Amino acid sequence: MPPRKRARPNATAMRMVGEQVAVCRIAKGLTQRELGRLVGLTEESIASIEQGRRPLMPDVAEAMDRVLELPGVLAVAAQRMPQVDVIPQWAEPLINLEQHAQALSSYENQVVPGLLQTPAYAEAVFRSRIPLYTDSEVAAQTGARIDRQPALRREQPMLASFVVWEPVLRCPIGGPEVLDEQLRHLLTCTRLPGVSIQVLPLDRRAHPALDGPFVLLETPDHQHIAYVESQRGSLVVSHLDEVSILAQRYAMLRTQALNPDETRDLLKQLLGDP
């Protein structure tokens, strides 16, 4: 039987291992060409490994460990490299941007925004995914999503505005208990410094964002960026005209949405609280 083809490892791990190779090579005082000659690869191949564009194969890793006098570090990394990105490569731009953003504006019409999800709700979202995740993949994805949330609780809080379409709050993803916990968590989040949550109610006769959800971010150097997701990918938008269009839509969403106090009243109503 022919050998099984080795699955391509995830991009995040490839970049991390590549950076390790580069650091160890430089510490040894070797150029990419010199290291390539010693392990039987071209200079271009070494560059591709270090930049995370080419996986580090186990036999090459073992050769690098010998040349760089490492105690099997790269061999272990190559053998244990996970096959699935915890954070999908197409979602990484948003994750990186929101951790340092000065301001964030998010419109969501399908699920509660990730920064506001409870662990149980996040798990239910990932268990709804097709093709199905394994239990370990669900746990990893859920953990990664919850790990993003300290961005709302930084010592110097960013200004975070969320507009959520009302059907999101009525869809019992995970079951009634999960939804109940999620709604109570949203109430708690409305009291966070710098956080504004507004619901766009169902009775509005016009909807300025029927094209789908999006996120607007302002970086520490005041650059304005938009992030748009689709079923199988995402787009980071920095062109001023395109960002302006989404900013106009978000401004209209906020005018048509319930104000924060009215939103809290709706959340209490959905929870059956007096």
Give per-residue pLDDT as tens, 212-251. 999 999 988 888 999 998 887 778 888 899 999 999 999 9
Residue 6 has pLDDT above 50, yes or no: no
pTM of the model as a whole? 0.69
Structure tokens at 49: 């490994």
Torsion of CA 44, 45, 50, 54, to 10 degrees: 130
> Given CA atoms 174, 175, 179, 182 in this order, what sign does their dihedral have?
negative
Which long-range contacts does 183-190 make (Cβ < 8 Å, 24+ apart)? 183/267, 183/270, 183/271, 184/271, 185/116, 185/117, 185/118, 185/121, 186/112, 186/116, 186/267, 187/264, 187/267, 187/268, 187/271, 189/116, 189/152, 190/260, 190/263, 190/264, 190/267
Alpha helices in the chain (DSSP H): 11-27, 32-39, 43-50, 58-68, 73-79, 92-100, 119-127, 135-147, 166-170, 176-189, 240-256, 260-271
| Residue 5: per-residue pLDDT | 38
Give per-residue pLDDT as tens, 259-273. 999 999 999 999 998
Give per-residue pLDDT as tens, 52-108. 877 788 888 999 999 999 999 898 888 776 654 455 554 566 677 787 899 999 999
| Residue 87: per-residue pLDDT | 52
Are 257 and 208 spatial neighbours (Cβ–Cβ below 8 Å)? Answer: no
Mean pLDDT of the chain: 88
Q: How confident is the model at residue 1 (pLDDT cuts 50, 70, 90)?
A: very low
